[in-house]
Structure formats: C-alpha cells, structure tokens
C-alpha cells in the first residue's frame, strides 16, 4: 500500500479521494463489488476505457491494497481481479455514490419531462 503519511490532509475525505479518486478507479471498484472479474470483462463493462488506462487503474488499486490480482496458469493464462478485505470496506461508499447518481438521473429526467410538458 502506498504510504500517505507524508501528506498533510485537511480532512479525511482528501485521503479517500487520493486513493479512489479518478474516473476509472471508482468505476472499476463499483464493478468489482459485484464479484471477481477478468480484465476483458472489465473492458466490456467500460467500453470507452483504453487498455492502458484500465491496466494503470488496476495496478494503482492493487498497490493501494484495494484489489487483489490472482494468476491462474493453464493452457491459457487467466488473471482475476477482486476486492480485498480493505476494498470490501468501500462497498457502502460506492453504493452511496451509485444511489446519489441514480437520484440525479431521476431529477434530470423529471426536469426534461417538465420542459416537454410546458411546450
């Protein structure tokens, strides 16, 4: 895990955002809350991410101890990513982000419907 003690954080949320911040890391964590995934599965779930960005996000999440990478050898190499115990502690936070986003989508849809009905 990266050592964050060298930084002065004004509020704990700064540390949290340093660790899980960034579009792809948060989205990757959200997908992994539904169970282990291979990188190809994650690519399909996030079709606009580049392989380079996914690899970088996965490496950073692994370095921070939030996900684990397990390699299975056989005819074809198989690599699985999943949340660690530390990563699992983020589930309520990630669920809250999803809930907030769903509420925002509903509000936007209601605003659109109101604009259309006022025409």
What distance in Å separates the CA atoms of residue 36 and residue 101, rounded to the nearest whole number? 23
Q: What is the rounded average pLDDT of the residues 74-78? A: 88
Residue 62 buriedness (CB in 10 A; 0-12 / 13-18 / 19+): middle
What's the rounded Cα separation, in Å, for the pair 58 and 56? 6
Alpha-carbon dihedral sign for residues 43, 49, 50, 51: negative
Q: Whole-prediction pTM value?
A: 0.84
In this structure, which topology does domain 12-117 adopt according to CATH?
Arc Repressor Mutant, subunit A (1.10.10)
What ranges do the domains of the chain cover? 12-117
The model's confidence at residue 1, banded by pLDDT at 50, 70 and 90, is low
Query: What tokens were used for 51?
Result: 């392989």
Q: What is the pLDDT of residues 18-56, one digit of tens each?
A: 899 888 999 999 999 999 999 999 999 999 999 999 999
For the beta carbon of residue 103, count every other beta carbon within 10 angstroms. 10
């Amino acid at each position: 895990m990266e050592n964050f003690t060298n930084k002065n954080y004004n509020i704990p949320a700064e540390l949290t955002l340093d660790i899980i911040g960034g579009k792809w890391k948060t989205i990757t964590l959200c997908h992994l809350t539904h169970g282990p995934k291979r990188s190809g599965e994650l690519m399909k779930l996030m079709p606009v991410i580049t392989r380079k960005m996914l690899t970088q996000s996965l490496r950073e999440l692994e370095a921070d101890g939030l996900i684990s990478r397990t390699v299975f050898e056989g005819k074809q190499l198989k690599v699985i990513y999943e949340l660690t115990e530390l990563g699992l502690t983020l589930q309520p936070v990630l669920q809250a982000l999803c809930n907030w986003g769903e509420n925002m989508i509903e509000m936007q849809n209601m605003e659109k419907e109101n604009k259309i009905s006022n025409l």
